[in-house]
Structure 1
């Protein structure tokens, strides 16, 4: 294990504790605080009202980053970047290789070695020890488990249809205590309260943990709320705030929500149905926003809010009919990589709105500097830059994103659906994107490329690569200067997976 230098003699402001909250699948355009929400998104849902008043208040008191970007369009590579400060092709965690390499230093390890209590609460089955995300945590809880157990039935939760869920159940039921496993499967698949995917249990558990803390030892707390992820199933009272005029809760929740089946033309979704789905999605954001408020109250009631750095972000976004997609795979549109990011506490008090380009992989440098931790091993590997107002790190003039391998794979889609559309088959490629304040360029290893002028085309509808070939070439060179050329890199399979992980992924068709 690499050594940490521990805490410096001075930290910034009164920050002692750090809380990092990830709103899984929260896109910037549907969250009020980023300034990215537009009339189109509100009009499509039929209601123009705030989704995230708690986040708005945090931003009004703290700092909101209006142009924050994920390094990838889905959970696994994005969290790996947040934990290691590296890009997907650097950390090697993606659809073609789903385990975080053991030799990578992680943010929780840096906090732990500096003397912090480290607590993780994950409601996304990708963010577990099965995929290498437990390193550095004293306790990493699984929100989908009724009884906490080392035997993880997350493979059942991740199953995309009943066949995959049954197959995973058959293969994993006797992995450990079958009674506990059966109870956890029954809870996650049948008994979990409607309208909540673990957020309420998570905030209740965190509140109890804070109440019962006996030590004044500083802590790092990570929490992933997954509710905005498909399937959108908000409580009725939330859904009815955001559904289009004339749409009932029953109509909206009856719509089939199967992104991969939609991609493969197994069924259709009308524009009216997408409008209802967007309403359900915004209702999910409103629900987890209230859970963030509950978490804040717990910190306040324990008298530690004022010396806690509280950070809320999305890990990636979502397509709900935009560009003809449903879900968050196969491309790098801003709908998927532009995310909310808000800081509260320490040097981020003041209600500032920052318009500079930042990345989620900037979190390690920012959080460690805020509490005065110098971790050489993490610093040596990262591409992270501190976002503190007085940091020596310079601002970014561009941000980057990568899609290293399709998830699920094209082979897996063929196994499930048989013949798949040529449009979907064309997504079997690697993609990279570079975005400046003025232009967004995306290219693939199959020759695909698109160029968009961001100020006049914020929704990336007009490809101007033919009209501005020199600009496209310059941005492609920028990508090749930052990364190896697409044509010379392949998805890595060099990192050894745990045997149990390999078996579970094979069971589900990932390998």
Structure 2
């Protein structure tokens, strides 16, 4: 049985990957697609081989609570030692993504406070004093209370360093390099079981902060990026009034997002990630037969009047890089259609030495075979609850918010991508200038809709703790 590692480079666009990861050996899939525009939903597809709506993971329900066995659960049953390292709170035990893993480690973002550790996240969120006074008060409470002083102070220092960009800021790549280098059962297992390793690295996610050695511009945090996306829908005063927006009741500051600065800071982040990953990859190749390097979604810097990755199924958000290194995947480019669903199936097929058999109920195909996948659907299910609450508190009318809190879908075929948007149904591809192409894509999308059950929860409410909220806000979920 083969040792398998899959590394998700969170938020890395396909074009940025091409600029900085040209050194990566293996089969490079130039037409690879995600199923959704954001981390949780994309990982739900990677972990289950199903569409996000099919397993009930959307912006309204982030928890992987489906009864469908996860990839790690299937591999664990097959005799694998399953391990994970994540730098993303969205892919963590907090949302049940540890299902089937013998060990699940990560960066400080996954270390939510325990009773004996002072809750810096809640303290800073609820304290109205200036930051310096708030931090000093936190230290006083630690020293005068019944806390683990060392670990509480360490968490406070880490919180401050990331919140205020102090020193060399790393979002997890260095921590993962340490993780795979140290001795222990998590990666370099000494027993006879094969090993499966899942990794999520966050360097390319906003806020774009990397060590000074890789900075060509100052770090850039988009801030209220989704609100900027929302506002463009009502830039015309008549449209705003028609949507129920009264400018005199909306309490928001001016938004001055800089697309050039954001794109350059982002590119610095991808460059840094590529340099660290070069070392990481060499170590992975020593320990694993197969290394699958892929992203979960892309990023936008004002194209389509959209910022970050919180809105729509635009091609730059859904087309992703994918390289598979290992037996049967020579150093070459492949233009057959591939998706995250195929990664799920390919791992299961490699693990069982077959086409997956009864073990797989994936909608994907084994990428060891050539020939394009069946058409793939892409999904957008509205805005995160905390984003809706933020817009409402700013004074925006709920009816106006509803205009972005809706569903959009897309379909990728062998020749084109058709997707729903604010501008209507859009098509890109080799031959997309006829009504016939559009009609065929709409029919393909409808066929997928008919085949895929919608198992989304009826509840739109999720419970977000102060600790989790603080980390999500740092990642732009405002």
Q: TM-score normalized by structure 2?
A: 0.77
- What is the distance in 2 between the residues matched to 1:276 and 1:358? 32
Aligned to 2:20: 51
Aligned to 2:102: 138
Aligned to 2:30: 66
Aligned to 2:244: none
Select which of 448, 465, 470 maps to 1:504: 465
Report 1:308-387 matches (<5 A): 308-348=289-329, 350-372=330-352, 378-380=359-361, 382-387=362-367
Aligned to 2:182: 208
C-alpha displacement at 1:436, in angstroms? 2.3
Aligned to 1:220: 196
3-state SS, counterpart of residue 346 of structure 1: coil
2:404 equivalent to 1:427: yes
- What is the distance in 2 between the residues matched to 1:189 and 1:347? 44
Aligned to 1:41: none
With over 3 angstroms needed to count, the CA separation of the structure-2 counterparts of 1:308 and 1:330, relative to structure 1, is same
Aligned to 2:15: 29
3-state SS, counterpart of residue 276 of structure 2: helix
Cα displacement string for residues 241-296 of structure 1 (whole angstroms, at most 9, x for unaligned residues): xxxxxxxx3xx3366543124335544346xx321221111111111112222212
- What is the distance in 2 between the residues matched to 1:288 and 1:95? 27
Q: TM-score normalized by structure 1?
A: 0.73
C-alpha displacement at 1:386, in angstroms? 0.8
With over 3 angstroms needed to count, the CA separation of the structure-2 counterparts of 1:484 and 1:220, relative to structure 1, is same
Verify the 8 A CA contact 1:123 1:198 in the aligned structure 2: yes
Report 1:260-279 matches (<5 A): 260-265=226-231, 266-269=253-256, 273-279=258-264
C-alpha displacement at 1:365, in angstroms? 1.1
2:212 equivalent to 1:236: yes
- What is the distance in 2 between the residues matched to 1:288 and 1:377? 38
Cα displacement string for residues 12-70 of structure 1 (whole angstroms, at most 9, x for unaligned residues): xxxx21111111001112221xxxxxxxxxxxxxxxxx423xxx2223xx100001000
- What is the distance in 2 between the residues matched to 1:295 and 1:326? 30
Report 1:73-112 matches (<5 A): 73-112=37-76
- Structure 2 regions of 5+ residues with no counterpart? 129-134, 136-140, 232-252
2:103 equivalent to 1:128: no
Select which of 370, 382, 388 maps to 2:368: 388
3-state SS, counterpart of residue 356 of structure 1: coil
- Structure 1 regions of 5+ residues with no counterpart? 1-10, 33-49, 241-248, 458-463
C-alpha displacement at 1:330, in angstroms? 1.6
Verify the 8 A CA contact 2:348 2:360 in the aligned structure 1: no
What count of residue pairs does the alignment treat as equivalent?
Answer: 427
Verify the 8 A CA contact 2:12 2:299 in the aligned structure 1: yes
With over 3 angstroms needed to count, the CA separation of the structure-2 counterparts of 1:67 and 1:139, relative to structure 1, is same
Verify the 8 A CA contact 2:313 2:378 in the aligned structure 1: yes
Verify the 8 A CA contact 2:35 2:318 in the aligned structure 1: yes
Aligned to 2:156: 186
- What is the distance in 1 between the residues matched to 2:377 and 2:443? 13
- What is the distance in 2 between the residues matched to 1:267 and 1:491? 36
With over 3 angstroms needed to count, the CA separation of the structure-2 counterparts of 1:216 and 1:291, relative to structure 1, is farther
- What is the distance in 2 between the residues matched to 1:506 and 1:253? 24
C-alpha displacement at 1:73, in angstroms? 0.1
C-alpha displacement at 1:215, in angstroms? 2.8
Superposed CA RMSD: 3.9
Aligned to 1:452: 427
